[in-house]
Structure 1
Amino acid sequence: MFRRLLKAILVPLMHVLFRPRIEGAERIPATGPVILAGNHLTFIDSMFLSLAVKRQVYFIGKDEYVTGKGVKGRLMALFFTSVGMIPVDRDGGRGGVAALQTGRRILEEGEVFGIYPEGTRSPDGRLYRGRTGVARLALMTGAPVVPCAMIGTDRIQPGGAGIPRLHRFTVRFGEPLDFSRYEGMDRDRYVLRAVTDEVMTEVMRLGGQEYVDIYATKAKAKAA
Structure 2
Amino acid sequence: MMEFYYSSDTCQRTPVNPQANRTTSRVSPWLSPLAYLLGRHCLLPLFFGQIRITGQKNIPTTGPVIFAPTHRARWDGLLVPYAVADCMTAKDLRFMVTIDECQGLQGWFVRRLGGFPVNTQHPSVGSLRHGVELLKQGKAVVIFPEGNIYRYGKVPLKPGIARLGLSAESSHSGLGVKIIPISINYSQPYPNWGTDVSIHIGSPIRVKDYASGCIKKDGKKLTGDLAKALEQLSHQETEITNHAFAEITNS
TM-score, L = length of structure 1: 0.75
Q: Secondary structure at the match of 2:227?
A: helix
Structure 2 unpaired stretches of 5+: 1-28, 170-176, 237-251
Structure 2 contact 52–199 (Cα < 8 Å) conserved = yes
Q: Which residue pairs with 1:198 in the alignment? A: 225
CA deviation map 1:169-217 (0-9, x unaligned): 11110111113133362x53122111100011001100129xxxxxxxx
Question: Could you tell me which of 172, 179, 198 is aligned with 1:170?
Answer: 198
Change in Cα spacing, 1:189 to 1:62, as seen in structure 2 (3 Å) is closer
Corresponding letter in the other structure for 1:4: P
**Percent pairwise identity:** 22
Judging by fraction of residues, say which structure has more helix: 1
Question: Could you tell me which of 68, 83, 93 is aligned with 1:37?
Answer: 68
Q: Which residue pairs with 1:59 in the alignment? A: 95
Q: CA deviation at 1:78?
A: 4.6
In structure 2, C-alpha distance between the alignment counterparts of 1:178 and 1:194, rounded to whole Å: 12
Q: Secondary structure at the match of 1:61?
A: strand
Q: CA deviation at 1:113?
A: 0.6
TM-score, L = length of structure 2: 0.68
CA deviation map 1:142-191 (0-9, x unaligned): 3111111011176344xxxxxx4331111110111113133362x53122
Q: Secondary structure at the match of 2:40?
A: helix
Change in Cα spacing, 1:139 to 1:79, as seen in structure 2 (3 Å) is same
Aligned length: 193
Question: Could you tell me which of 179, 182, 193 is aligned with 1:148?
Answer: 182
Structure 1 contact 6–82 (Cα < 8 Å) conserved = no
Change in Cα spacing, 1:106 to 1:170, as seen in structure 2 (3 Å) is same
Q: Which residue pairs with 1:10 in the alignment? A: 39
Q: CA deviation at 1:107?
A: 1.2
In structure 2, C-alpha distance between the alignment counterparts of 1:131 and 1:208, rounded to whole Å: 21
RMSD after superposition: 2.5
Structure 1 unpaired stretches of 5+: 158-163, 210-224
